[in-house]
Amino acid sequence: MSAAGPPQGAKLIFPVSIIGVGNMGGAMAARLGTLGWSPRVFDLDRTKARSLERFGALALESAVCAATETIATIVCVVDAAQTDDVLFGSQGIAPHLQPGHVVVLCPTISPDAVQTLAGELGSLGVDTLDAPMSGGPLRARDGSMSLMLAGADAVVAKVQPLLDALSNQVFHISEQLGDAARTKLVNNLLAGINLVGAAEVMALARRLGLDATRTLDVIAQSSGQSWIGMDRMRRAVAGDFAPRAHMTLLAKDTALAQDAARSVGFDGPLGALASQVFASALQSGLADLDDAALLPFLERRLP
């Protein structure tokens, strides 16, 4: 099968690789494996890659080995620096990809970074999809995460079966690379605002002597409900801070959202404050904890 894309009438499963199989990348690999895709996977933590073999994934010894002879590569690392290293570092995959290969960029990075990386890939004849995701590993595993796309219609069509396998919530924002990144930053800024707000009100509820679990039960059925607030505060009340979503992620994403806001002269009243809370949490040594740890962080911080 040509690396440029499945021919007309080809079966809907084609060779695909995933570079970076942490919480989200691993969940996507497990989903694809159970659907029969046998994705080629690579992670610097080899145990993470090998753990996916039970789902039918193929754990390979280098990113280059994983990506070559495939039609599409999903890059699912943390930030722009890691993405650049995967593609163009000393062991980068980009020089080894065939023209027409599709690189699916899933990290939350700036729109400018998306466009820069896409331009460099384009000079090699490699196509790019701007494809950040949202919803957490459980939803990535069951195919219900949100997948935001920006890129040419023809490139989307080339890998449509893969996108359909990954999620039943695929939103093609536009053909303009960077627009999916912009959408993700808007979403994550709201998630950050909601999470800081949820942690603040739960800290207040406990200060007022209210039962935290009962309070959350009420909020869950009332106007104050938000998905991220419920998800994280349930864990916080249970004292469960094992990282599903590291504090560093929303700290990074809210900071990127503020950069995007400044680039268009937008100065909202809440985003900057939420970003400052996450930055302060990192400075307090909470980087390795789940962002549910905002609750005890605010309880310690508030007089």
| Nearby residues of 101 by Cβ (< 8 Å), 6 or more positions away | 3, 4, 67, 70, 71, 72, 73, 126, 127
Helix/strand/coil for 223: coil
Q: Which alpha helices (H) appear in 209-270, and where do they start and end?
A: 212-220, 227-237, 247-263
- Select which of 11, 48, 158, 184 is catalytic: 184
Separation CA 202–CA 270 (nearest Å): 18
Residue 73's beta-bridge partner residues?
17, 103
CB atoms closer than 10 angstroms to residue 91:
9
Cβ neighbours, 10 Å, residue 251:
24
Among 125, 100, 122, smallest CA distance to 7 is for 100
Report how far Cα 138 is from the mean position of its chain's Cα atoms. 13
Residue 48 is a catalytic residue: no
The values of phi and psi at residue 235, to 5°, are -65, -40
Q: Rg of the Cα trace of the chain?
A: 20
Residue 113, strand partner residues: none
Which residues does the annotation mark as catalytic?
A: 184
